[in-house]
Amino acid sequence: IAGITQAPTSQILAAGRRMTLRCTQDMRHNAMYWYRQDLGLGLRLIHYSNTAGTTGKGEVPDGYSVSRANTDDFPLTLASAVPSQTSVYFCASSDSAYNSPLHFGNGTRLTVT
Amino acid sequence: GENVEQHPSTLSVQEGDSAVIKCTYSDSASNYFPWYKQELGKRPQLIIDIRSNVGEKKDQRIAVTLNKTAKHFSLHITETQPEDSAVYFCAAKPYAAGNKLTFGGGTRVLVKP
């Protein structure tokens, strides 16, 4: 089934540890995004990529990094996790980088202790 | 940058009644306004969107209205059913922002049978 796959589904992580959240899409979408979802704050954009080889900062990029080596994969790395990064992380993709519907993955629930 | 406020944060309605969710945005250059529905434990999914050259759009029991002068837009759900129970997110985006949406904080809708 075409779509976006995120891994892991959930993770408990000790503060200070490094963690990479994986995201893969098979829709050949050009643009990909990482959002975090926190109660009452909606979905906030962390980083995005309009096309393979390019990335950009979103609303809350500090403490996170991304790479886009190819069209399908868009991993999100927390270099040194802190408790405030406890959240649900959603990867999304869209066909184009302008006014195009977002297709979300199932999310990764991350708890930093 | 864009700022989107969404009200109410929770909404309880009797099955068959209507539900209205309101959002305001700050950037007068915003021209794309999608709505996403997130069922419990699931991914957000686009249910309807409207562009700034249109004042109203309908799709079966849901409709969205846009008032550019007042910088607000609303989601209307008529004849609510139990499967409408979910969290709804509005979003806005200026054209120059590519596909980088700014989301509201979400509205939890509960339809009571």
CB proximity A90 to B under 8 Å: yes
Q: How far is B94 from chain A (nearest CA, A)?
A: 9
Residue (of B37, B36, B61, B34) closest to B49 by Cα position: B34
> pLDDT tens-digit profile of B41-52?
999 999 999 998
**pLDDT over 90 (residue A5):** yes
Of A40, A41, A99, the CB nearest to B99: A99
Count of beta carbons in the 10 Å neighbourhood of residue B76:
16
> What is the distance in angstroms between the Cα of A12 and the nearest Cα belonging to chain B?
18
Residues of B in contact with A43 (CB under 8 A): 44, 89, 91, 101, 103
Mark which residues 74-93 of B lie under 8 Å from A by CB: 89, 91, 93
Per-residue pLDDT of chain B (113 residues; tens, 9 = 90+): 889 999 999 999 999 999 999 999 999 999 999 999 999 999 999 999 999 888 999 999 999 999 999 999 999 999 999 999 999 999 999 877 777 899 999 999 999 99
The tokens for A18 are: 């490094």
B44 in contact with chain A, both atoms CB, cutoff 8 A: yes
Nearest Cα of chain B lies from the Cα of A60 at a distance, in angstroms, of 12
Radius of gyration, alpha carbons of chain A: 13
Q: What does the block give as tokens for A86?
A: 């406890």
Is A101 within 8 Å of B105 when comparing Cβ atoms? Answer: no
**CB pair distance less than 8 Å for B99 and A40:** no
Whether the pLDDT of residue A103 is over 70: the answer is yes
